[in-house]
Amino acid sequence: MNSDAARRAVRTFFQGAVGVLVLIAVPVLNQLIQAVAAGGEIVIDVDLWQSIGIAAIAGGVIALIAFLQNMLEDRIGSAGFLVKKG
């Protein structure tokens, strides 16, 4: 296994997981802002572990696709698709 492809896939996993967590947090923050603006009681109904699990699974899928693409590019000697390797 190419360690460079694995390193890039791990980096992509964290980028994907953080991105999904941010997208999940938007509705929660929107609900919080609306509750504060209305002067009502602030109640956040979120299962944190479920959100973290969703983000981890999405990050894993994204990383797997990135890993396969990285391995394919390395095996065929491609200079890269969007960003050319030096």
Domain ranges of the chain: 3-76
For residue range 34-76, list pLDDT tens digits in order: 888 888 877 766 676 787 788 888 888 988 888 888 888 778 8
Mean pLDDT value of segment 13-33: 83
Quickly list DSSP for the chain. Answer: --HHHHHHHHHHHHHHHHHHHHHHHHHHHHHHHHHHHTT--------HHHHHHHHHHHHHHHHHHHHHHHHHHHHHT---SSS---
Q: Is the pLDDT of residue 18 over 60?
A: yes
Rounded Cα–Cα distance for residues 84 and 28 (Å): 39
The residue count of the chain comes to 86
pLDDT confidence band for 10 (50 / 70 / 90): confident
Rounded Cα–Cα distance for residues 51 and 35 (Å): 21
Q: Supply the pTM of this predicted model.
A: 0.59
